[in-house]
Amino acid sequence: QVFNFSSGPAMLPAEVLRRAEQELVNWRGLGTSVMEISHRSKEFIDMADESERDLRELLSIPDNYKVLFAHGGGRAQFAAVPLNLLGASRSADYIDGGYWAHSAIDEAKKYCDPRVIDIKTRIDGLRGLKPMSEWDLSPDSTYVHYCPNETIDGVAIDEMPAFADRTVVADYSSTLLSRPIDVSRYGVIYAGAQKNIGPAGLTLIIVREDLIGSARQELPSILDYQVLAKHDSMFNTPPTFAWYLSGLVFKWLLAQGGLVEMGKRNQAKADYLYNAIDQSDFYRNDVAPANRSRMNVPFLLADETLNALFLEESLAAGLHALKGHRVVGGMRASIYNAMPLAGVQALVDFMQDFARRHG
Ligand code: PLP
């Protein structure tokens, strides 16, 4: 059996893939694939409506928020957010906690003067992030942008924002749907689908209605929240297959018991892996416990010359895509919703066996 620890595009639930396989050439009895029909057909629109209802139920999305199903991934939103929200203003606070937050800042510089608040810190010699109470926000910024889960750095901010009179924007690309969150704390939440949600190509945007409508003139229509909302996310042809498959994932999540249950499972998986790493002299994770990501677990081998052998042997054992990102080095296990506890147990068994043989 193969367990895929890719950071994204990532593993999808086996049940979802089986169902998609069954329906591939004959969807809803139409005698054709969902990929081959018009997004304006009744069947597709029914599916789209159903997927939105399911997503709203999963995340308890309040009625005064629009859900948009868009193209472009997380990076398109790095531009879309300032262009949709800033109007005539040029001031926004950007929290820098890692690679992706920093990438959002680089893009935002094209459209405004982001005030960068670096929250990276050392806690007992480990990589950590300052808590929200220590974020030095400016008094007059139009919004505050942050990334709650840094996919590459393996650091996370689990606190829910509680800043009075602030519009908070969050890049939830690698953690949306992994546990319950309070959507009402946010102005905009966005996420590329290819980690916890579905295939690459679809981007989810959850935006409070009063923030829609102040876009800058030069904003491309396909990124304009008002245009997307007005056309029920079908201003241009949406990524239909990715949308359909994500809809199946929403149904799978509801059948598992929703996000409370997923949160428990994800915590149990992460605890299992971090405990194994902490108890070993052979492996280490250098993130402060309060900021450890439950989705992306980077770890280093004490003897880095064994990295290539570790990757070769783990692949042969059916444990795929464990190579860490070049920025952090070492290994990284991404353990999103679709990764069962059995996959994490298989990884830990392998790691312990490898350590015994090479330690
Ligand atoms: N934000 C985060 C947290 C990510 O992990 C990624 C990709 O891994 C991105 C943004 C960029 O997403 P995309 O490749 O969909 O543009």
- Pair 137, 144: CB distance under 8 Å: yes
3-state SS, residue 112: coil
Q: Out of 195, 224, 252, 323, pick the active-site residue.
A: 195
Give residue 1's pLDDT: 84
- Pair 145, 81: CB distance under 8 Å: yes
227 CB neighbour count, 10 Å cutoff: 18
pLDDT tens for 12-63 read 999 999 999 999 999 999 999 999 999 999 999 999 999 999 999 999 999 9
Look up 251 and say whether it is catalytic: no
Give residue 102's pLDDT: 98
Ligand 1 lined by 147 (C-beta under 6 Å) = yes
From 168, 199, 194, 195, select the one nearest 181 (Cα to Cα).
168
| Residue 337 reports pLDDT greater than 90 | yes
Write out the binding residues: 7, 40, 74-75, 100, 151, 171, 194, 236-237
pLDDT tens for 311-320 read 999 999 999 9
Q: Which atom of ligand 1 is nearest to the CA of 75?
A: 16
C-alpha distance from residue 226 to each of 10, 152, 216 (Å): 31, 32, 11
178 CB neighbour count, 10 Å cutoff: 25
Q: Identify the burial level of 8 via C-beta atoms within 10 angstroms of its C-beta, where 0-12 means exposed, 13-18 middle and 19 or more buried.
A: buried
* Cα(95) to centroid(ligand 1), Å: 16
* Cα(316) to centroid(ligand 1), Å: 28
Ligand 1 lined by 75 (C-beta under 6 Å) = yes
Q: Out of 27, 93, 100, 224, pick the active-site residue.
A: 100
Ligand 1 lined by 98 (C-beta under 6 Å) = no
Q: Two tokens at 322?
A: 């464990």
Ligand 1 lined by 192 (C-beta under 6 Å) = yes
- Cβ density class 11-26: b for 16+ within 10 Å, e for less: bbbeebeeebeebeee
pTM of this prediction? 0.98
| Residue 164 reports pLDDT greater than 90 | no
| ipTM exceeds 0.85 | yes
